[in-house]
Amino acid sequence: MKLTCFFAAILTLSFSSAAISFADENHEIIEKVMKEGLKGDDSPLAKILEESATEEEVTSLASLIKTMEGTEAPVGDQDAYDDKVAELIAAIDAIAGGDMSGPAIDRLDSASNCKGCHSDHKPKKD
């Protein structure tokens, strides 16, 4: 009986460690996209919205944003989060595909709205 409880405890700890590890990796991906791609006046996103980004910056941002595909919503509804990530990917893909029209830029601007995602999916600080 003690041996069974021991193995059950080990399995529980293993699954908990895996879940924590996945949550950490998930957080790192989202944070990297925000910090390296979307945040700030000189970010690749800002340059795209100002129509001053190079083709390399557009391609790099598209690749970076695509790393969010399959991440889990930190909080909130997963389907709503998946929809937001999919729209962001579709919007940057249009730009990366060469569509620099006003509607394409507006779509990317709307899809990358920080508050739109943070309101529903960013964990509240204690």
pLDDT digits (tens, 9 = 90+) for 67-124: 999 999 999 999 999 999 999 999 999 999 999 999 999 999 999 998 989 999 998 8
pLDDT over 70 at 38, yes or no: yes
CA 70/CA 26 separation, integer angstroms: 9
What's the pLDDT at 125?
83
Domain ranges of the chain: 29-121
pLDDT over 60 at 35, yes or no: yes
What's the pLDDT at 64?
98
For residues 54-64, give the mean pLDDT: 97
Give the containing element (helix H, strand E) for 95.
helix 78-96
pLDDT over 50 at 66, yes or no: yes
- Answer with the residue of higher pLDDT: 58 or 25: 58
What's the pLDDT at 21?
52
Torsions phi, psi of 49, nearest 5? -65, -30
CA 122/CA 21 separation, integer angstroms: 18
What's the pLDDT at 1?
56
CA 65/CA 91 separation, integer angstroms: 10
